[in-house]
Amino acid sequence: MRVVTVVPRAEPLPERVPPDSPIAKGAPLLRVGMVCPYSLSVPGGVQQQVMGLSRELRRMGIEVRVLAPCDGPPPATFVTPLGNSLPTSANGSIAPVAPDPSAQLRMIRALTDEEFDVVHLHEPLAPGVAMTALLVHTAPIIATFHSAGESAGYRYLQRPVSVMSERIAHRVAVSKDARALAERYIGGEYEILFNGVELDDYRAATPHDSGGPTIFFCGRHEERKGLDVLLAAMQHLPDDVTLWIASTGPDTQRLRAAYPDSERIEWLGRLSDADKIARLKGATVFCAPSLHGESFGVVLIEAMAAGTAIVASGLDGYRNVATDDVDAVLVEPGEVEALAAALGSVVGDAALRERLTTAGQRRADDFSMTALAKIYACHYRVLADEHRRRSVEQARVSKRRWDRTRMLWQSWRAVEHAPPTRDPTKTTTRME
């Protein structure tokens, strides 16, 4: 099975952009439908990628419209809301999908009315609007697979999802772990493309004043994110170290009861993007103690771009981004004492933090959203041009068939309605 891997580069890759790409001067306008199966009102990695990529593509001059569920007002004018979401268990987490019929009807109507040149599906086999877009198939489809680990949906619905996946013109996986999951159940060839980060938002941000050594955690409060482990590790750290905990989740109430608000622990709740970036930039250390289920470490790239030192679990998904003792300190998942030792070492050693953040800033350059958008833009142009050529050829074939049918019909009509011919060799006798 052939696998195409794209290695991130530090520069914006101008050599990869063909002359007829949508970012080249004079190229025809492209209309792209970007489909997200998860509610844009709920923070999440896929949602963040959809919105960031759409913003960057629109800056390039590509007409992108995001189609997604929204539990409230859409977050941007280029978003078409498809209805409210329904929390659904998936991959050890809760996915805010929209499986109801009304959302599917809105999806079909939007695809039909907009007449996109290309449809870009994120998590194309997630239940709800992404799968509906795959079934309707109004334009060439490029699909990005984000999930890693295991999927009950793929396991129990392997045959139908495998058949539906044949409608995808080009498949992308965000990491080798995401590729492995998709290959295991539906097969096919995948290009590996990194997740992107809008680096300028992090580098230009004003840091939130921490007032002392501070650890920042930002992630859904659920078992796989490892917040339990981090809170236990805090008991082994000096009293002057503060922990900022952002976001919420199913474990929030239990954990807050066990570790109430204090001078050492601040429960911040759900933050806006601007507040999250300010806290990230103002923290001494960013900690990602996840236990499993991470396909790609976007949060680590964000911390690198913000110039914050990182302590994280040594998961394969995080190792796609970070290298231990180079641009992060990685520890065994679930090990409280190892996590506490790593946090204490980074918090207390300014020289170590400086070395990690300097290397992290260089590493973050490899994951620019601008570079990622240019690669996707090239794919869009190739798919749109191929579809257009195919449509023109099909129209020509149909016209030739119609012309032949019309000629046969006209010939038949001419024979059927022609006046009877008289044979000159025969004579008629008039009866008196």
pLDDT digits (tens, 9 = 90+) for 338-347: 999 999 999 9
pLDDT at 426: 58
SS (H, E, C) 13-54: CHHHCCCCCCCCCCCCCCEEEEECCCCCCCCCHHHHHHHHHH
pLDDT at 342: 98
pLDDT at 286: 98
Task: Specify the 3-state DSSP secondary structure of 400.
Answer: helix
pLDDT in tens, 28-50: 789 999 999 999 998 888 999 99
Domains of the chain: 4-193 (3.40.50.2000), 199-367 (3.40.50.2000)
User: Positive or negative CA dihedral for 34, 40, 46, 49?
Assistant: positive
How large a percentage of the chain has pLDDT more than 90?
66
- B/e letters for 284-317, b = 16+ CB within 10 Å, e = fewer, are bbbbbbbbbbbbbbbbbbbbbbbbbbbbbbbbbb
- Average pLDDT of every residue of the chain: 87
pLDDT at 193: 94
- 151-156 average pLDDT score: 66
pLDDT at 154: 67
Query: With 50 as the cut, is the pLDDT of residue 6 above it?
Result: no
pLDDT in tens, 209-232: 998 999 999 999 999 999 999 999
- 292-310 average pLDDT score: 92
Q: What is the pTM of this model?
A: 0.77
Question: Sorting pLDDT into bands at 50, 70 and 90, what band is 17?
Answer: very low
pLDDT at 218: 95
Backbone angles phi, psi at 331, to 5 degrees: -130, 165
Query: With 60 as the cut, is the pLDDT of residue 418 above it?
Result: yes
Q: What angle do CA 27, 31, 34 make, to 5 degrees?
A: 130
pLDDT at 133: 94
d(CA 130, CA 126) in angstroms, rounded, equals 6
- 179-199 average pLDDT score: 92
CA 430 to chain centre: 92
Backbone angles phi, psi at 119, to 5 degrees: -115, 125
Q: What are the tokens at 53?
A: 């990529």
pLDDT at 147: 85
CA dihedral 221, 273, 173, 148 (to 10 degrees): 0
pLDDT at 408: 74
d(CA 363, CA 169) in angstroms, rounded, equals 31
pLDDT at 267: 97
pLDDT in tens, 127-146: 899 999 999 988 999 999 99
**Residue spans of beta strands (DSSP E) within 253-354:** 265-269, 285-288, 309-313, 329-331
pLDDT in tens, 64-107: 999 999 999 999 999 999 999 988 766 556 789 999 999 999 99
How large a percentage of the chain has pLDDT more than 70?
85
- 371-383 average pLDDT score: 95
pLDDT at 215: 98
| Residue-by-residue DSSP string for 349-398 | -HHHHHHHHHHHHHHHGGGBHHHHHHHHHHHHHHHHHHHHHHHHHHHHHH
- 395-417 average pLDDT score: 71
